[in-house]
């Protein structure tokens, strides 16, 4: 069972950690790249991303219990989100759903035209 968050920590769900990792991956950044851009250690990025799997295993072990999240230093998350935001990744929530978007810096307009067609946008 995950321990309770302490002062200066927040509890992050597996989905939130997954979005953070998806943002890094969308930029084709390694864990070291994110760490360097955020001013945190590579071990911090690895530890945060690995907590998603630990949470999943705990939830399966206690089948029926919902994701309790993992305590993570808020300052580390703020630094990482800031670095991703500066590189063009945005995270959003409307109260019901959460998501991520990436500022397109590609000149591959044909791909985006097809994506619009497929999604009906």
- pLDDT of 7 strictly over 60: yes
**Residue 42, Cβ neighbours under 10 Å: how many?**
14
Residue 62, both tokens? 């206690």
| Domain boundaries along the sequence of the chain | 9-119
Mean pLDDT over 108-112 rounds to: 76
Longest dimension (CA), the chain: 49
pTM listed for this prediction:
0.72
For residues 22-42, average pLDDT: 95
Q: pLDDT tens for residues 45-58?
A: 998 888 766 655 56
Q: 9-119 falls under which CATH superfamily?
A: lambda repressor-like DNA-binding domains (1.10.260.40)
Contact 52, 18 (CB under 8 A): yes
98 Cβ contact partners less than 8 Å away, ≥ 6 residues apart: 15, 16, 19, 91, 92
């Amino acid at each position: 069972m995950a321990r309770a968050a302490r002062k200066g920590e927040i509890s992050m769900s597996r989905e939130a950690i997954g979005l953070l990792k998806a943002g890094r991956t969308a930029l084709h950044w390694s864990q070291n790249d994110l760490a360097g851009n955020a001013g945190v250690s590579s071990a911090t990025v690895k530890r945060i991303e690995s907590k998603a799997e630990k949470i999943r295993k705990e939830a399966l072990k206690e089948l029926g219990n919902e994701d309790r999240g993992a305590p993570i230093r808020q300052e580390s998350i703020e630094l990482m989100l800031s670095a991703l935001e500066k590189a063009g990744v945005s995270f959003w929530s409307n109260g019901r759903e959460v998501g991520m978007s990436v500022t397109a810096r590609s000149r591959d307009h044909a791909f985006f035209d097809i994506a619009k067609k497929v999604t009906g946008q």
